Structure 1
Amino acid sequence: MNKMDWLVLCPVPRDQRPFYEYIKRKDSTILGWVGLNESNYTRRFFLSLLSIFSVTLPFTSWFISPSYYPSQAILVNLFVTLIFQSFIYGYFFITWLYAGKRLVAAKVWYEESGWYDGRIWIKPPSILRHERLLYHYQLVPLIARLTKTLQFLILGIIFVVALLFLFIY
């Protein structure tokens, strides 16, 4: 059996194979942020934070008047911004974690015809080894980066809530 015979013998549709799901996510415009180098990743993080802040500012000003309570209005807006940002990065985390679990798994669940006829394909050892290597060298650093980002966002939310309580009481 030659190396490429598994492509012919693999019953899983191409778009449902874990390797191609990983490639699709990596090449995605939004999900590809996580794979950028450190400076571009940080730049995108703060750019999205600033854009969410500017979009949510009019909505939070309906509830707290910035002319009467400027510091509270900014802190509430920052709180809402951090919540939205944590939802976005939580989605990134869940998506990359799912891709990683599919790469590491020895069995692949797939839909052949779309009629919910869930089937299982057991990966050959060569493919399993290749995908586990890909997981450990490509996805583990991305998931670790997302974990640190989510921890940073949670600390930011806690800090903003503490400041809000200090200003209110």
Structure 2
Amino acid sequence: MASMSPCPVPPEQRPQEEFQQLCTSWFFTWPTESQQGLDKALLISWFGILPLTVLVASGSWTLRNDPPRLLAAGAVAAFVLPMLLLVRQWLGWSYVHKRLLAEQVEYEESGWYDGQVWEKPLAWRERDMLMARHEVRPILGRLARAMAWTAGLMLVGGSLCQAL
């Protein structure tokens, strides 16, 4: 029986190890602590890209002579970077979430794409399920809220650009 044998999955490909790798990554730790920490990092990225987006928007003849619309267009365009960062974080955390919830672990034994599957023992499944529910799911919730706010701000900003 495969579940009684020792774990053949290389340590770096085990779901819990993948979770730990994300938790120690500078980029992926943004949503781990609180919504405020994530919001602060996203706001910094937005302010960081804002001068560039305003500069690009100033290339438009119609916007060049209308400073309020120029700033509004640059501000809306600057939301693209935080949204891309959120999507990348969502992909990483949802991948680990899926691996933690799975009853089997897919892995590469030699690195030559020789896909293997190992069934997790019951104790591993229970531990992984708890980790997925109580540690990863709140992170995904924070990311979902941040993506909704960012998309909403982009829509409202786009509407304001049209109204100005």
TM-score (structure 1 length as normaliser): 0.87
For 2:95, the aligned partner's letter is Y
Match of 1:18 in 2: 15
* Equivalent position to 2:163, from 143, 163, 166: 166
* Equivalent position to 1:39, from 25, 36, 49: 36
Match of 1:116 in 2: 113
User: 2-side partners of 1:63 and 1:103: how far apart?
Assistant: 49
User: 2-side partners of 1:64 and 1:97: how far apart?
Assistant: 43
* Equivalent position to 1:104, from 97, 101, 104: 101
- Contact 2:58–2:64 (CA<8 Å) still a contact in 1? no
- CA deviations 1:90-142 (Å, max 9, x no partner) are 11111111110001100111111111111101000001100110111101110
Match of 1:144 in 2: 141
- CA deviations 1:46-76 (Å, max 9, x no partner) are 1122112134332332235765111121121
Where does structure 1 lack aligned partners over 5 or more consecutive residues?
Answer: 1-5
User: 2-side partners of 1:77 and 1:36: how far apart?
Assistant: 30
Q: Secondary structure at the match of 2:79?
A: helix
How far 1:40 sits from its partner (Å)?
A: 2.7
Aligned residues: CA RMSD: 1.8
Match of 2:51 in 1: 54
User: 2-side partners of 1:60 and 1:28: how far apart?
Assistant: 34
Cα distance change on mapping 1:130 and 1:61 into 2, 3 Å = same
1:128 equivalent to 2:125? Answer yes
Q: Secondary structure at the match of 2:106?
A: strand
- Contact 2:53–2:78 (CA<8 Å) still a contact in 1? yes
Match of 1:68 in 2: 65
Match of 2:151 in 1: 154
Cα distance change on mapping 1:106 and 1:64 into 2, 3 Å = farther
Match of 2:79 in 1: 82
TM-score (structure 2 length as normaliser): 0.90
User: 1-side partners of 2:146 and 2:61: how far apart?
Assistant: 29
Q: % of aligned pairs identical?
A: 24
* Equivalent position to 1:92, from 89, 96, 107: 89
